[in-house]
């Protein structure tokens, strides 16, 4: 039996042979995470870059392969091909990246946006975010673009109408000037489906539309050396993108400000996130994580006897359990909490705008606390983690940190499942 690295590389090679560039890229970087000193891994990364029309990236990856093994002939051959190749000439005019809704939980969609913002940084495209009617947090009666309900428009960014100028070209071909704000098309099947970031890296069209999630962690290895994010940690990358592009709306900030001043100001504060409902079924780690929480909270109370605990949770039983352990020092915002195994955003029983407003305001409130205990497998906890520069030792993520892993969705392709 091959070892795990070889098996991952074999799977990546199979995906490459099938021209599944996004899958080949993701599996290659998984192999690199396991053992970055194998020249064959970097050679395949270079081949993927050549396949998607990015010879400058290919040269960098292939040079890394030869630095590891100067006698690795496949890398030498492919480097010559990369040096002879020329990037595809871009269409004249502006270059945009339209980031559509991922149609998942709130901060899963934000994570999708952040990954694509990194792609925009790498490719020099102007990003535009449009969360349309497919968003689980859309309220067309308030705004046809749900992003603008929760965040300020991207600084200096154009409007959707700018992407409809006469003469612009579009990728993938399922999109055109008339349907840019239509419900997401063929995300999982059909032409233009499962479009990974790597497949957008060197496109010549004026407008690239992204509606399929590639996490920033996977995209980071494509950051060129001349970019200020090159060599940075995943946390630094997320913080850079958040500070540059993502600012909660006035309505969110007003809600967070009012609650913090009324319930948390004037003493030491600890935010604790407990994710229940559907996430408990999704992550095997949560039970062990939650078993640790009481002891960790008691340690912090021992250091700060007047500690106030802000609980952000979608679970009524979790709130009641925390109150049972720690009494009135536990406070929560006025948000919807339920029991059961169905996520609040999936039940269809609650007003989408209210759900979105509550979850992003809770994350802002938590980021204002002095300390945070978060759940690594949760996008909400990850959001609190990258909303501010936490002082060392004040932000603890329990379990596997979600944004420090490759997104699994892209692997769900027939033949490699």
- What's the rounded Cα separation, in Å, for the pair 200 and 218? 14
Give me the pLDDT at residue 93, please: 87
Task: Locate 217 and state its tokens.
Answer: 């962690």
Which domains are seen in the chain, by residue range? 4-87 (1.25.40.10), 96-245 (3.40.50), 250-402 (3.40.50.11350)
Burial group, residue 3, by CB count within 10 angstroms (0-12, 13-18, 19+)? exposed
> Nearest to residue 22, comparing CAs of 218, 276, 250?
218
Q: Are 94 and 126 in contact (CB under 8 A)?
A: yes
Task: Locate 32 and state its tokens.
Answer: 């690199």
Give me the pLDDT at residue 402, please: 66
Burial group, residue 279, by CB count within 10 angstroms (0-12, 13-18, 19+)? buried
The DSSP element (H or E) to which 330 belongs, if any, is: strand 330-331
Q: What is the pLDDT along the chain (417 residues), one digit of tens a residue?
A: 468 889 999 999 999 999 999 999 999 999 998 999 999 999 999 999 999 999 999 999 999 999 999 999 999 999 999 999 988 787 788 999 999 999 888 999 999 999 999 999 999 999 999 999 999 999 999 999 999 999 998 866 678 889 999 999 999 999 999 999 998 899 888 999 989 999 999 999 999 999 999 889 889 999 999 999 999 998 899 999 999 999 999 999 999 999 999 999 988 999 999 876 655 555 567 777 888 888 999 999 999 999 999 999 888 888 888 889 899 999 999 887 767 565 566 556 678 999 999 999 999 999 999 999 988 888 899 999 999 999 999 999 888 776 666 655 444 443 333
- What's the rounded Cα separation, in Å, for the pair 110 and 261? 27
Q: Are 360 and 266 in contact (CB under 8 A)?
A: no
- What's the rounded Cα separation, in Å, for the pair 29 and 44? 10
Q: How many residues does the chain have?
A: 417
Half-sphere exposure of 47 (CA within 13 A, CB side): 23
Q: Give buried/exposed letters for 190-222 (b at 16+ CB in 10 A, else e).
A: eebebbbbbbbbbbebbbbbbbbbbbbbbbbbb
Phi-psi region of 353 (alpha: psi -120 to 50; beta: other; left: phi over 0): alpha
């Amino acid at each position: 039996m091959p070892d795990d690295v070889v098996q991952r590389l074999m799977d990546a090679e199979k995906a490459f042979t099938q021209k599944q560039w996004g899958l080949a890229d993701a599996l290659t970087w998984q192999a690199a995470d396991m053992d970055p000193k194998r020249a064959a891994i970097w050679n395949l990364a270079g081949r993927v870059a050549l396949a998607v029309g990015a010879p400058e990236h290919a040269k960098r990856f292939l040079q890394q392969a030869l630095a590891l093994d100067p006698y690795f002939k496949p890398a030498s051959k492919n480097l010559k091909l990369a040096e002879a190749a020329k990037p595809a000439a871009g269409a004249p005019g502006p270059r945009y990246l339209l980031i559509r809704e991922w149609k998942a939980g709130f901060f899963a969609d934000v994570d999708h946006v952040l990954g694509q913002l990194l792609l925009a940084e790498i490719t020099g495209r102007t990003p535009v975010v449009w969360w349309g009617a497919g968003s689980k947090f859309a309220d067309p009666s308030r705004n046809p673009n749900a992003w603008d309900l929760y965040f300020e428009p991207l600084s200096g960014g154009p409007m959707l109408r700018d992407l409809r100028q006469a003469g612009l070209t579009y990728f993938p071909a399922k999109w055109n000037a008339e349907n840019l704000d239509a419900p997401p098309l063929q995300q999982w099947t059909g032409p233009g489906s499962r479009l990974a970031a790597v497949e957008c890296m060197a496109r010549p069209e004026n407008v690239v539309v992204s509606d399929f999630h590639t996490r920033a962690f996977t995209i980071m290895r494509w950051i060129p050396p001349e970019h200020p994010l090159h060599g940075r940690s995943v946390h630094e990358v997320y913080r850079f993108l958040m500070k540059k592009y993502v600012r909660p709306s006035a309505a969110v900030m007003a809600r967070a400000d009012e609650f913090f001043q009324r319930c948390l100001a004037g003493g030491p504060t600890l935010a604790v996130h407990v994710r229940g409902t559907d996430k408990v079924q999704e992550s095997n780690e949560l039970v062990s994580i939650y078993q640790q929480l009481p002891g960790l909270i008691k340690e912090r109370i021992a250091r700060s006897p007047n500690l106030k605990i802000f609980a952000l949770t979608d679970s009524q039983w979790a709130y009641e359990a925390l109150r049972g352990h720690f009494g009135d020092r536990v406070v929560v915002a006025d948000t919807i909490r339920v029991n059961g195994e169905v996520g609040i955003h999936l039940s269809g029983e609650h007003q989408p705008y209210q759900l979105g407003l509550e979850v992003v305001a809770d994350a802002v409130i938590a980021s204002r606390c002095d300390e945070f205990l978060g759940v690594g497998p949760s996008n909400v906890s990850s959001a609190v983690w990258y909303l501010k520069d936490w002082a060392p030792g004040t932000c603890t993520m329990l379990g596997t940190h979600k944004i420090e892993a490759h997104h699994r969705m892209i692997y769900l392709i027939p033949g490699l499942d």
